[in-house]
Every structure is written in C-alpha cells, then in structure tokens.
Structure 1
Amino acid sequence: MRTIANKSEDAALNTANIVLGAILFLAPWVAEFGSGNYAAMNAWICGAAIAIVAMLAINQTYDWEEGVTLALGLWTAAAPWVLGFAHVQNAMWTHLAVGLLVAAMAGAELWRLYHAPEARSV
C-alpha cells in the first residue's frame, strides 16, 4: 500500500470530489430524472460513495482510496449504458460528466502516489 501526505492541491482535488459526489447525489431532484429508478438509485449510491471516500482522503491519501474512487468514476460514467438509462438525457450527461471528472482526478492522484518522490510504502 502506498501513501502520501496531502498538500493544498490534494485537498482541493478531494474537496472537488466531495462537491461532485454531492452534485451526483442531488441530481435526481435537481435535474428531475426521477426517483426509484436505476438512474436515481445509481446517483444516490455513487454520489454518497464518492463523497465519503473523498472525505477519508482529505488529510492522507492511500492508493486504495484512489483505486476505489477511480472505479466509482468509471462505473458512474458507464452506468447509463450498463443500466439502460442512456435515453434519459439529463441523467446520462450528469453521470457521464461527473464520472469522467472523478476518474480523471483519481487517475492523477494514483499516478502521483506511484511516481512522486515524497510517496512511500506503508
């Protein structure tokens, strides 16, 4: 397992993930793509999970946290097609945008965990 003490830019990335998780969680009501359907349930589960994992990574980042975040981001981006709600445009675009942003930030953090001189194994 690899870890790195967070700098201000890392805290900003994790804060952005908390905000993105909250946006995804609130999207079924704000973007009006319903409740009790796959789009809404996926938004609630993934939004909450993204925000919770980001909160855990605020002070100290571990590779498992970023791996989970990367998987959540990729799943969120793919969910409209996997779960069959790609025809609901506001749900599809919300999931795709949030998922790709979360995955990109997690990928950058994983790269840093394995290539930055200050990263270390624990």
Structure 2
Amino acid sequence: MENWSNAKLCDVANLVLGAILFVSPWMFSFDAGKVSQNATIAGLVIAILAIAALAAFAIWEEWLNLIVGLWTLVSPWILGFQGTTAMTVHVVIGAAVAVLAAIEIWIMTQNPPRLTTGR
C-alpha cells in the first residue's frame, strides 16, 4: 500500500507541474507562437495524464507522461528557443515530469497494486 501512496504523490506532483507549465506563458511572458503553444499543450497533456492516473491507474499513462516529459525537456533545442526563460522552464519541468514518471513506473513494476483485499 505504501508504494501505491508514493505513486499517487508522483501523480499529484505531475499534476502541479503540468499546471505550472500550462500557465507559464502568462507567468513568464513567453513570446506568442510555438513556444507558448508548446508549453500550453504539453502542460495540458501532463495534467490530464496525471488526473487520469489519479482516477484509475494504468501503467500506459506513466509511459505517456514520461514521453511528454522528455519532449518538454528537449523541445527548446528542437523548436529553437534556447537561451531563454522559456527554455529554463521547459527543461526544469520536463526533467521533473520525466523523472517522476520513471520513478512511478519503477515503483509499480516492482510491486504492482493489488486489487483485492488480500484475504
């Protein structure tokens, strides 16, 4: 049960990180265009996946969150907005989301949650 609680904490953290990424274009005054669109879409996807994982856990949600976190991490180089505040926000949040998703995948593969009471 403790592993299940740790997994839920990772989901809550990813929900908060997704929300921060979603509002970051307004918080940090990113340029309009691909940078703010990337932050908004990636943040929304991270938050939705975290909510889905909190509602009904499925390992595929964590794999998708890992992929979106990695995309967010590398997107400044792919989309060409290095050396900006937007880059810092994307790299920090992307790394955190990817690490949390990887931890959660590891936790759940080591000791998957039991759906029965164990009697």
1:63-74 residue pairs with structure 2 within 5 A? 63-74=59-70
**3-state SS of the aligned residue for 2:57?**
strand
Count of residues in Structure 1 that have an aligned counterpart in Structure 2: 114
Q: Counterparts in 2 of 1:1-122, with a 5 A limit?
A: 7-35=4-32, 37-87=33-83, 89-116=84-111, 118=113
Q: For residue 11 of structure 1, what is the amino acid of its counterpart?
A: K
Q: TM-score, normalised by structure 2?
A: 0.87
Q: 1:50-99: CA deviations, max 9, x gaps?
A: 00000000143211100000000000000000011113x21000000000
Moved over 3 A (4+): 117-120
The unaligned stretches of length 5 or more in structure 1 are none
More strand by share: 1
State the distance in 1 between where 2:4 and 2:111 align: 12
In structure 2, C-alpha distance between the alignment counterparts of 1:13 and 1:55, rounded to whole Å:
11
The Cα shift of 1:9 comes to 2.4
TM-score, normalisation: structure 1: 0.85
Identity of aligned residues (%): 40
Evaluate the alpha carbon distance shift between residue 109 and residue 69 of structure 1 in structure 2; reply closer, same or farther with a 3 A threshold. Answer: same
- Structure 1 vs Structure 2 CA RMSD: 1.9
Matched letter for residue 73 of structure 1: G
1:113 Cα deviation after fit: 2.1
Letter of the 1:77 partner, please give it. Answer: L
Structure 1 Cα separation of the partners of residues 6 and 86 of structure 2: 30
Superposed displacement of residue 118, structure 1: 4.1
Contact 2:21 2:40 in 1 (8 A): yes
Gap regions ≥5 residues in structure 2: none
1:117 Cα deviation from its structure 2 partner: 5.5
Q: Hey, what's the Cα distance between the residues in 2 that align with 1:40 and 1:118?
A: 38
Preserved contact between residue 25 and residue 43 of structure 1 (Cα < 8 Å): yes
